[in-house]
Amino acid sequence: GAVVSQHPSRVICKSGTSVKIECRSLDFQATTMFWYRQFPKQSLMLMATSNEGSKATYEQGVEKDKFLINHASLTLSTLTVTSAHPEDSSFYICSARSLNEKLFFGSGTQLSVL
């Protein structure tokens, strides 16, 4: 079956530093990738939609200058959390949509900002 690789699975960083999360579709082309955030005991919330070769579309309340998204190829999207703060600590998950409209999730990244 289709696989989406998300890396790293867990990261701990100091406040003020930047963290990059990669989402890669291993055996299919993903024209669209979605980035979700999930705080403890809460739902998955869409942060942004990333289309290959164009600027990401951010949901209301998500700062585009803080959460930089790059979708440079049909198999790779990256999310960079810039100047991370403790309140950015969360579980980040990507999902990739294949050409036949199916969605596949990455394994998630647990970010802890000290």
Partner 1 sequence: GQNIDQPTEMTATEGAIVQINCTYQTSGFNGLFWYQQHAGEAPTFLSYNVLDGLEEKGRFSSFLSRSKGYSYLLLKELQMKDSASYLCAVAGGSQGNLIFGKGTKLSVKP
Stretch of 11-19, 42-50, 60-68, 74-82 lying at the interface with partner 1 (CB under 8 A): 42-50
The two tokens of residue 82 are 């810039």
Q: Which of 21, 23, 28, 34 binds partner 1 (CB under 8 A)?
A: 34
17 binds partner 1 (CB under 8 A): no
Residue 100's Cβ-count burial label (10 Å; 0-12, 13-18, 19+) is exposed
The two tokens of residue 103 are 């969605």
108 binds partner 1 (CB under 8 A): yes
The two tokens of residue 70 are 């790059």
13 binds partner 1 (CB under 8 A): no
